[in-house]
Structure 1
Amino acid sequence: MAKLPYSDVDFSLRAIAGRAEGFGRFAVGGLHGPLYHVTTLADDGPGSLREGCRRREPLWIVFEVSGTISLSSYLSVSSHKTIDGRGQRVRITGKGLRLKECENIIVCNLEFEGGRGHDVDGIQIKPNSRHIWIDRCSLSDYDDGLIDITRQSTDITVSRCRFANHDKTMLIGADPSHVGDRCIRVTIHHCFFDGTRQRQPRLRFGKVHLYNNYTRNWGIYAVCASVESQVFSQCNIYEAGQKKKTFEYYTEKASDKLHEASGLIRSEGDVFLNGAQAHLRQGVSEGCVFHPSEYYHDWTVEPPSESLKYILQVCAGWQSIPRPAEQLIPRPSEQ
């Protein structure tokens, strides 16, 4: 039977810190800060999620309430925060989270649904943000993207998330004029893209490692590589619905170049079901696309089996799990 990674991170509250695989592996969130308890579903004020996220000091944010937090504006998250939804069922709606010029963020076990308005994303990561881990979140039905990573934001992992009921799922790299996005590096693994239409993800300029994801019934394509981008697709399951094209390549011109270019996709160990067509570019050798081992040594990857497909349908996204206990660190005199 297939197994998801991080099987031990729910042993104690802060065991998740620094445990991401891939490019976001250095994200420790609010590891070194006190607990902040969300005690109200109000958009703002004492005990609200917004109040905790705006504070400048490191915080490990936990919830004492379940229910829906309806945001009237983007909720900005400052550096060194963990937003930990384990133990409750918290739904974010109206607007989404904005990770702007911040670092060391963990967002775990939340639901994002029904974001409305122009340029409203579930989780918007821009600009210049880094060391971020999005884990076990369910995201659906926003007016723009579910997760957007742009404007030189990098070193990010998205894992064990479920994406559904949406069009433009995940944009990585803003547009051809933002050549600074060449620094972007993202790992996406053990996620379930359930009937989302396109952008699982769409990438410009940067590098993305996809592994052990299950993408099914897309509406246009599964993965798109645009200007100068590199995608390493490893042991994923691509199951087509009516549309069979798995990989798409869009040609664009970077603002500092004379000629247009598309991106590159290297597929290793992927399976293509129900007539899914890979459309791999000819002549894409090992040297053309980065290999993850150039950046990190270990990641949990296994063959794309039927058991993996089943596990991802059940275990990706928000989970009904208890909040782990806080493990107290003994004082020196007590050791």
Structure 2
Amino acid sequence: MCLCCFLDDGPGSLREGCRRREPLWIVFEVSGTINLVSQLSVSSYKTIDGRGQRIKVAGKGLRLKECEHVIVCNLEFEGGRGHDIDGIQIKPNSRHIWIDRCSLRDYDDGLIDITRQSTDITVSRCYFAQHDKTMLIGADASHVGDRCIRVTIHHCFFNGTRQRHPRLRFGKVHLYNNYTRNWGIYAICASVEAQIYSQCNIYEAGQKKKTFEFYTEKAADREGSSSGFIRSEGDVLLKGAQPCLLQGVGENCVFRPSEYYPTWTLESPLDSLKDILQICTGWQAVPRPAEMLIVA
């Protein structure tokens, strides 16, 4: 489906395409800004592909609710306003989601939030800037169903965002080959029962040096309170970034990514990786694949 309308709704609009029930690969004929007056709900089996144009989503954001097999690629999200308005909100019960090469900044709530038993989600090659509470995974200690959450975050650049890169409750997150610099409180946080596998990332501190944070909370179905666990393996910490106090914890405390996928492309956290992530994350001026079939 090829879109050329930047109205909030109506024929040819992104909202109209996302609500359709059949599988769609949505592309854009021209560049522009889509000013959403309300959250835009995305149904299952949709690819929203910004390649070939420069598409900015503003005003509100996307909501992936009870959907599966959704790809969001090469878009910009900026200037979202309103209570509980995220750039991309994934809840509840959504799965098999891929957010790739998007630029996100300046929303009133989160940039990407993954909650309420949403799982099997990948965030890759995204650029995050000008924001406080960047990425929340698991919203509340009462949401014990979030123990099912599995998220992979790789080759992303968190540039001066304040906190939550991510903050995790209950679930399992594999972080690898990301570059996080100049945070305002901490880089990543493990709260109640969280398991974070931080592998070959670059953490470059600014004024605040605390790289890894642990918050204690009480799960609704447990007697006592607990924090989470972080395994740091091959990470590079620069400019006084503090190491993980629980580095090297026992095998049973943090999952192994190989339990869920057999291989992944892992690069050494060198200056060359840092340089690449500053250039090649977020929206890119890349062409749409020539072999793609467009149905108007």
Q: TM-score, normalised by structure 2?
A: 0.98
Identity %: 81
Question: Is the CA contact 2:232–2:247 (under 8 Å) kept in the aligned structure 1?
Answer: no
- In 2, Cα distance between equivalents of 1:283 and 1:142: 36
2:166 to 184, 201, 206: 201
- Superposition CA RMSD, Å: 0.9
Unaligned runs of 5+ residues in structure 1 are: 1-35, 329-335
Question: Is the CA contact 2:47–2:70 (under 8 Å) kept in the aligned structure 1?
Answer: yes
Partner of 1:321: 286
- In 2, Cα distance between equivalents of 1:94 and 1:283: 44
Question: Is the CA contact 2:230–2:244 (under 8 Å) kept in the aligned structure 1?
Answer: no
Which consecutive segments of 4 or more residues in structure 1 shift more than 6 A?
none
Listed one character per residue, the Cα deviations across residues 194-228 of structure 1 (whole Å, up to 9, x for unaligned) are 00000000000000000000000000000000000
- In 1, Cα distance between equivalents of 2:263 and 2:283: 25
Partner of 2:115: 150
Q: Does 2:173 align with 1:173?
A: no
Partner of 2:14: 49
Partner of 1:238: 203
CA gap of 1:283–1:60, structure 2 versus 1, over 3 A, is closer
State the 1:65 CA deviation: 1.5
Paired AA for residue 170 in structure 1 = M
State the 1:287 CA deviation: 2.5
1:95-114 correspondence to structure 2 within 5 Å: 95-114=60-79
Listed one character per residue, the Cα deviations across residues 131-157 of structure 1 (whole Å, up to 9, x for unaligned) are 000000000000000000000000000
Paired AA for residue 163 in structure 1 = F
Partner SS, residue 248 of structure 1:
strand
Q: Does 2:41 align with 1:90?
A: no
Paired AA for residue 318 in structure 1 = W
- In 2, Cα distance between equivalents of 1:300 and 1:286: 22
Higher relative contact order (CA 8 A, sep 6+): 1
Unaligned runs of 5+ residues in structure 2 are: none
State the 1:288 CA deviation: 1.4
Listed one character per residue, the Cα deviations across residues 81-111 of structure 1 (whole Å, up to 9, x for unaligned) are 0000000000000000000000000000000
State the 1:283 CA deviation: 6.7
Question: Is the CA contact 1:41–1:65 (under 8 Å) kept in the aligned structure 2?
Answer: no
2:273 to 308, 317, 333: 308
Partner of 1:225: 190
Partner of 2:261: 296
Count residues in correspondence. 293
1:21-40 correspondence to structure 2 within 5 Å: 36-40=1-5
Partner of 1:163: 128
Question: Is the CA contact 1:150–1:181 (under 8 Å) kept in the aligned structure 2?
Answer: yes
Question: Is the CA contact 2:4–2:13 (under 8 Å) kept in the aligned structure 1?
Answer: yes
Question: Is the CA contact 2:198–2:233 (under 8 Å) kept in the aligned structure 1?
Answer: yes
Listed one character per residue, the Cα deviations across residues 148-176 of structure 1 (whole Å, up to 9, x for unaligned) are 00000000000000000000000000100
Paired AA for residue 66 in structure 2 = E
Question: Is the CA contact 2:231–2:248 (under 8 Å) kept in the aligned structure 1?
Answer: no
Listed one character per residue, the Cα deviations across residues 26-49 of structure 1 (whole Å, up to 9, x for unaligned) are xxxxxxxxxx11111111111000
Q: TM-score, normalised by structure 1?
A: 0.86
Question: Is the CA contact 2:195–2:254 (under 8 Å) kept in the aligned structure 1?
Answer: yes
2:101 to 119, 136, 149: 136
Listed one character per residue, the Cα deviations across residues 219-249 of structure 1 (whole Å, up to 9, x for unaligned) are 0000000000000000000000000000000
Question: Is the CA contact 2:232–2:248 (under 8 Å) kept in the aligned structure 1?
Answer: no
